[in-house]
Structure 1
């Protein structure tokens, strides 16, 4: 998988490479020797065709120049205290990797290509960690394409992920964009995906929060998305104007390109069965993804959402089919089926997901659908809640199933949710269950539900107040019974 270089990195490297470098002074002070100076001048400020030809003639020499050869330190490490020179070397390295693929292989073939680069992620000069992360991403993603993950990659990858997670949490769009594009390139095999996933909230939360924000914004809630504008920041100064050009088109208040790259990263993660099984359970991601699919303003967003759903179904059907059905994905897919799409992968994922959900739906009873909804915490006025026949048949089972699991789920919804629909539905169900199975009402006392519904009688939403009042009336009606 290849992506164009992040706009921030292009802006920084072009600005740095345009500066004059006092080569003779560096040689006089023994920062570089005559041979190294000759190598640099052969590729500095020359036409691209000539630069490519020079590097391709001896990529190993230029790799050793930058990161060393195992016996001698590279220029980056030897000139560590000279900030402008380090910036220049990094910018040159990024450009050479972009122009000459064989140079990437030559760097990766050095005995210790990453160790000094990793230390630069903590450098105090703003542009240096940014450019270093881009260079490391290029090198490590190429290394991950090999059949066996190298020891150097195993050691460097978590540190790179940690840095990218830090900048992904920034309010600066270009830093977020750099981090997520890097993730897309790095999450190319099982090792890197599982490494990323095992770092937990530190890495994954940055992706899921973007999806949640876009989904919430698609429902009319305000979101913010700002570019690089921190006063005095050298990154901001060097990248002026980059954000304005790239942050125009948004979905739910989130830059569309950023959202798309986040979705691609989630899609890559969903190829792992262990991740597909836990993605919704840990991050409650299915409902926001369905909302994004429903409100997609570009076909590429729709395409990648469908690809994620197909993977979730394929890799972990038992876990994900109930949640996908509850999130009302099936009627949405049926609607999408009526549209004409030219992308064969999109139509294949659409057909696959629709068929799987239709087959699964045929196996579900009303009780199964109700239990799935209650376990999810996403309560809404689905048909079972208003069906007297449903409650006559299933109330006792709801109270007793799995040692009162569904009772605990309703109690948790009342205790933890601030969604007025969830609170109204949960209070309604408690009232019906007290009415239908009055002898079990003390279970609600143990779960602190009676006190909670009494409290909700003073809620600001009239429907929550009404349903809570009805539930309290049922508790009072049976206060002296059974």
Structure 2
């Protein structure tokens, strides 16, 4: 297993480079004298420290667990920042050279039979070093690796005692839950979000993207309120041209959570659906677009949640049309675009029902929501305008006559034009209700968009039936 976030050193303080930290001389004997480490620990560390990569690799192959335990003992008992940073750097370097060494954190040697250092507890304590973000950052990454590499994860109930979520108990669950609480707290911190660069957020999201591969961890993340923390991160990453990796990894977190139905139920209410649509609209990197679209695709699978209507209202149908015109090297993207397009057409039928349109017209305020611009909506619902002696049409004309809101006037003229085109007797009915007279008054309106929509409506009133049928297609 590769741990890509280990190689991202963007979070390191520029005055503390890896070379500077690894060049330090640590007074190991002092710690042995103070009984913070044992003589066995001292012997192991002195034999390992400052050696070549080849020699270190040989030692780790021979007695890896013992060396890891010795260094974890240092982290457990020594608080001096220079030493803590040095040991963390050694452990990170060990894993960078060979990621499979993560298993050493879970193997017991014959050195600490009665008091084996618990890597979870040791690293959790380092997360609290508020004045030493370098150590916090590395402890965060190491703890993620320790969790990922643990030998016994949540398994099916067939292999263990059942829990309410269908998984057997995980010995590390308490530690994972505490860690997730810490990560969510970092995401929620306004101080962290305002940092430039936002190193705390970058590391937290990278670690979450790795941890959320497990279904049981997703449930713990949801319980910790993690979904409520993601919208603000996604919004800031979306608006920053230098945050494409953060944007990708945040979308990756969301995508993984979409496989959990209770999480999908929350996403619409916390604003994640609309933000994902925005990412699809603006993403420059293909991997970012693909991950955001994959998240929306999964959400559309929960048809009873009605999330398609949210996506339609956010304009995803137009995004799909535009993106479908692009050339994609990944066939999965093409497949997803086709799937989403079909689902959104169903969503338009749901969101654009006539009762909703009628409610909007009766409110006296009109907006450019999808039902106004959907040809399908007008074809399916134009006959319903006849109900109660054209009540909705009469109210629409009253709006055009009396409203002072420019958007409402523009949308009203547009809708009147749609009625004229789609109803077999549309232009005659509108003329009988003085519609032509009312719309022509708006040709000299001060707002350009109102003028434009009024002109288009008047033109439709002047067209013959054949030409109107041609427009209707």
Q: From 180, 185, 210, give the equivalent of 1:166.
A: 185
Report the equivalent of 2:143: 136
Report the equivalent of 1:381: 368
Report the equivalent of 1:89: 87
> Whole-Å Cα distance in 1 between the matches of residues 70 and 366 of structure 2?
61
> Whole-Å Cα distance in 2 between the matches of residues 271 and 373 of structure 1?
35
- The verdict on how the C-alpha distance between 1:58 and 1:288 changes in structure 2, with shifts beyond 3 A counting, is same
The Cα of 1:97 is off from its aligned counterpart by 2.9
Q: Does 1:122 align with 2:128?
A: yes
Report the equivalent of 1:334: 321
- Give deviations 1:165-186, integer Å, cap 9, x for gaps: 3333302222221111111111
The Cα of 1:82 is off from its aligned counterpart by 3.3
Q: Match of 2:203, SS? A: helix
The Cα of 1:192 is off from its aligned counterpart by 0.9
Q: From 314, 321, 324, give the equivalent of 2:301.
A: 314
TM-score scaled by length of structure 2: 0.65
Report the equivalent of 2:200: 175
Q: Is the 8 A contact 2:309 2:351 kept in 1?
A: no
Q: Is the 8 A contact 2:348 2:371 kept in 1?
A: no
- The verdict on how the C-alpha distance between 1:391 and 1:19 changes in structure 2, with shifts beyond 3 A counting, is farther
Cα RMSD of the aligned pairs, angstroms, is 4.0
Report the equivalent of 1:445: none
Query: Which structure 2 residue ranges, 5 or more long, are not aligned?
Result: 109-115, 156-167, 393-404, 413-445, 451-473
- The verdict on how the C-alpha distance between 1:335 and 1:317 changes in structure 2, with shifts beyond 3 A counting, is farther
> Whole-Å Cα distance in 2 between the matches of residues 86 and 120 of structure 1?
9
Report the equivalent of 1:103: 101
- The verdict on how the C-alpha distance between 1:383 and 1:83 changes in structure 2, with shifts beyond 3 A counting, is closer
> Whole-Å Cα distance in 1 between the matches of residues 152 and 281 of structure 2?
35
Report the equivalent of 1:410: none
> Whole-Å Cα distance in 2 between the matches of residues 192 and 379 of structure 1?
44
Q: Is the 8 A contact 1:9 1:131 kept in 2?
A: no
Q: Does 1:278 align with 2:266?
A: yes
**Pair member with larger Rg:** 2
The Cα of 1:393 is off from its aligned counterpart by 6.5
The Cα of 1:43 is off from its aligned counterpart by 2.9
Report the equivalent of 2:235: 212
Q: Does 1:187 align with 2:188?
A: no
The Cα of 1:310 is off from its aligned counterpart by 1.1
> Whole-Å Cα distance in 2 between the matches of residues 373 and 63 of structure 1?
66
> Whole-Å Cα distance in 1 between the matches of residues 360 and 296 of structure 2?
19
Q: Does 1:198 align with 2:200?
A: no
The Cα of 1:341 is off from its aligned counterpart by 0.6
> Whole-Å Cα distance in 1 between the matches of residues 359 and 264 of structure 2?
18
Q: Is the 8 A contact 2:3 2:145 kept in 1?
A: no
Query: Which structure 1 residue ranges, 5 or more long, are not aligned?
Result: 68-73, 218-249, 400-420, 430-461, 467-482
Q: Is the 8 A contact 1:277 1:320 kept in 2?
A: no
The Cα of 1:303 is off from its aligned counterpart by 1.1
- The verdict on how the C-alpha distance between 1:155 and 1:182 changes in structure 2, with shifts beyond 3 A counting, is same
- The verdict on how the C-alpha distance between 1:101 and 1:379 changes in structure 2, with shifts beyond 3 A counting, is farther
The Cα of 1:102 is off from its aligned counterpart by 4.1
> Whole-Å Cα distance in 1 between the matches of residues 298 and 360 of structure 2?
22
Report the equivalent of 1:155: 174
> Whole-Å Cα distance in 2 between the matches of residues 352 and 52 of structure 1?
50
The structure with higher relative contact order (CA 8 Å, sep 6+) is 1
Report the equivalent of 2:422: none
> Whole-Å Cα distance in 2 between the matches of residues 395 and 165 of structure 1?
55
Q: From 315, 331, 334, give the equivalent of 1:347.
A: 334
Q: Is the 8 A contact 1:144 1:186 kept in 2?
A: no
- Give deviations 1:3-40, integer Å, cap 9, x for gaps: 23232456667242221212333344443343222322
Q: Is the 8 A contact 2:290 2:333 kept in 1?
A: yes
The Cα of 1:363 is off from its aligned counterpart by 6.5
Q: Is the 8 A contact 1:181 1:261 kept in 2?
A: yes
The Cα of 1:260 is off from its aligned counterpart by 1.6
> Whole-Å Cα distance in 2 between the matches of residues 58 and 166 of structure 1?
38
> Whole-Å Cα distance in 2 between the matches of residues 91 and 302 of structure 1?
35
- The verdict on how the C-alpha distance between 1:371 and 1:2 changes in structure 2, with shifts beyond 3 A counting, is farther
> Whole-Å Cα distance in 1 between the matches of residues 360 and 174 of structure 2?
43
Q: Does 1:293 align with 2:296?
A: no
> Whole-Å Cα distance in 2 between the matches of residues 351 and 145 of structure 1?
40
- Give deviations 1:279-318, integer Å, cap 9, x for gaps: 012x122222222211112212211111111111124564
